[in-house]
Structure 1
Amino acid sequence: MAAKPFASSADLDAKEQTLEVLADGVYALTAEGDPNVGAIEGEDFLVCFEALATPVAARRWLAKLREHTDKPIRYLVLSHYHAVRVLGAAAFGADVIVSTEQTRRLIAERGRQDWESEYGRMPRLFEEPASIPGLTWPSLTFTDSLTIQLGGQRGELQLRYVGRGHTEGDLVAWLPRSGILFAGDLVESQAALYTGDAFHFDWASGTLDNVKALGAEQLVGGRGAIARGRDEVDAAVEQTRDFLLTMQQTVGDAYKRGGTLREAFAATHAALAPKYGRWPIFEHCLPFDVQRLWDEFHGVERPIIWTAERDRQVWDELQG
């Protein structure tokens, strides 16, 4: 059997981008399983959510957004530190770049390595990588919550840290007036999870409980379709939880019986593939997901930093 191409290196087909208006002045861009982004209008300014992987890629999104509004971008909100979410920030010209304090620390600790790792894994997303001026640094951070008053009759945007999950520092952006939640990669709707930097046990329990308790009527996850209505929102949250719990069961069983990492991966793949195997980035992510959870079972509290070299080592062991 031929070895599988590394991560998403063979995924070179362009994805169709769709801008959707979720409510008056609330926008989301989806792209067939590529990273989702969004924007919220204030009375006389914009808040953008996520930055994509390069300024060139971000400008394509902004061109679509400018068909609906010409308000200046005051805030750019970053849900977490991963390169495909932050390195396009220069295109926005935002007055303020916002993240959690935890995310700022992660950029300092591992931002450069993550950039090199993600570029190797997903080269198609890095449209004209030479346009990236350097690491993206937030200019405003918070630990638990931050509220942005949108002005006029637009209410407020609440940025919240809801617990460790996809990374140590993910935030969500919540519009209580319209019941719309931008969940970042804490929730995926009809897309597989990347958990290589995750805290699987916190995420599957308290963190997702906190997300669900907001009672969103529409949810924009990190990838995949927009969930509309409480039933679809709850289904997206529970799909995310099911993926995590299935991994915990299969990897945990291999660990408890003294099995190997390869055995844990094979069991996890067999358990997840019937339901999730055709969803975006499933094959790409699973080796890194299993490695991180295996580390957690072995007492590694914080994720080991991914490098291009470590990526290849894990891939060759589990998927090569």
Structure 2
Amino acid sequence: MAQKAFASSADLDEKERTLEVLAEGVYALTAEGDPNVGAIEGEDFVVCFEALATPVVAGEWLAMLREHTDKPVRYLVLSHYHAVRVLGASAFDADVVVAHDNTRALVAERGAEDWESEFGRMPRLAKGADSVPGLTWPTLTFSDRLTIDLGGDRGDLVLEYCGRGHTEGDLVAWLPRQRILFAGDLVEAEAALYTGDAFHREWASSTLDRVAAYGAEQLVGGRGGVTRGRRAVDAAIAQTREFLTVMIREVSAVHGAGGTLKEAFDRTHAALAPGYGHWPIFEHCLPFDVSRLWDELSGVDRPVIWTAERDREVWDRLQD
């Protein structure tokens, strides 16, 4: 049997992009399981959430946004450091690029390796790769909470750190007045979780507890459609938690019994595929997910840096 194509290297079909108006001046762009982005209008400026993978792709999103508002982008908020979320930043010409303290440190520590790794895993997202001027560096960082006054009667946008999860620097953007949460990759709406840089046990417990505590009535996850209504939001958070919980249970069983990484991958795939195998990027993510969780259970607290070479080594090791 032929080996599966590496990661998402064979997924070259364009995805349909949909701009949705969630409330007055609040926008989300979803794309059939590709990375989501958002924007929030202030009185005389815009806050954009996430930057996409290249300035070319980000420019296409901005052209759609400009059909609704011509206000300048004052803040560009980055939920975490992954290349497909941040390398399009120069297209926004933002006055301030905001991220968590840990995200800035991660860019310094592993940003260049992540750039090469992610563009190799997902070449379709890297449209116009030569337009990327270099690594994206936040100009404003914080540790716990940062509030942006949107001006007039628009209320506040609250940026908060909920704990280690998808990475050690994920932040969320919360609109208390509209009860809308931009959760980044801490929550996925019927899209597979990438956990190759994760802290699984914290994510599945205290971090998601904090996300759930907002009581959001609309939620924009990292991938998948916009989730509307408290019941649907709670279900999306629960699905994310269940994905993590099943992984932890299955990998822990093999690890505790002295088994191999390949056995842990096969067992986890068998447990997750019936419910989640049809979700976007499931097959792509799982080898990297299991590898990171195996390391965590082996006492490796911080994720090993993914390089293009390590990506291929892990992929080849875990495929049949």
TM-score normalised over the length of structure 1: 1.00
Q: Could you tell me which amino acid in structure 2 is paired with residue 74 of structure 1? A: R
Name the structure 1 match of 2:153: 153
Give, in angstroms, the shift of residue 133 of structure 1. 0.1
Give, in angstroms, the shift of residue 269 of structure 1. 0.2
Name the structure 2 match of 1:133: 133
Structure 1 unaligned blocks of 5 or more: none
Number of residue pairs aligned between Structure 1 and Structure 2:
320
Name the structure 1 match of 2:121: 121
Give, in angstroms, the shift of residue 118 of structure 1. 0.1
3-state SS of paired residue (1:63): helix
1:286 aligns with 2:310: no
Superposition pairs of residues 252-291 of structure 1, within 5 angstroms: 252-291=252-291
3-state SS of paired residue (2:5): coil
Give, in angstroms, the shift of residue 241 of structure 1. 0.2
Name the structure 1 match of 2:172: 172
2: CA distance, partners of 1:293 / 1:201? 9
1: CA distance, partners of 2:259 / 2:134? 42
CA RMSD of aligned residues (A): 0.4
3-state SS of paired residue (2:48): strand
Deviations 1:277-316 (Å, cap 9, x if unpaired)?
A: 0000000000000000000010000000000000000000
Q: Could you tell me which amino acid in structure 1 is paired with residue 121 of structure 2? A: R
Name the structure 1 match of 2:246: 246
Deviations 1:116-173 (Å, cap 9, x if unpaired)?
A: 0001000000011000000000000000000000001100000000000000000000
**Percent identity of the aligned residues?**
75
1: CA distance, partners of 2:319 / 2:217? 38
2: CA distance, partners of 1:19 / 1:234? 23
2: CA distance, partners of 1:318 / 1:175? 42
Superposition pairs of residues 34-113 of structure 1, within 5 angstroms: 34-113=34-113
Q: Could you tell me which amino acid in structure 1 is paired with residue 226 of structure 2? A: I
2: CA distance, partners of 1:309 / 1:4? 17
Give, in angstroms, the shift of residue 90 of structure 1. 0.3
Name the structure 2 match of 1:237: 237
2: CA distance, partners of 1:129 / 1:24? 34
3-state SS of paired residue (2:99): strand
Give, in angstroms, the shift of residue 319 of structure 1. 2.0
Deviations 1:72-107 (Å, cap 9, x if unpaired)?
A: 000000000000000000000000000000100000
TM-score normalised over the length of structure 2: 1.00
2: CA distance, partners of 1:113 / 1:202? 25
Moved over 2 A (4+): none
Deviations 1:17-67 (Å, cap 9, x if unpaired)?
A: 000000000000000000000000000000000000000000000000000
3-state SS of paired residue (1:279): coil
Deviations 1:248-293 (Å, cap 9, x if unpaired)?
A: 0000000011100000000000000000000000000000000000
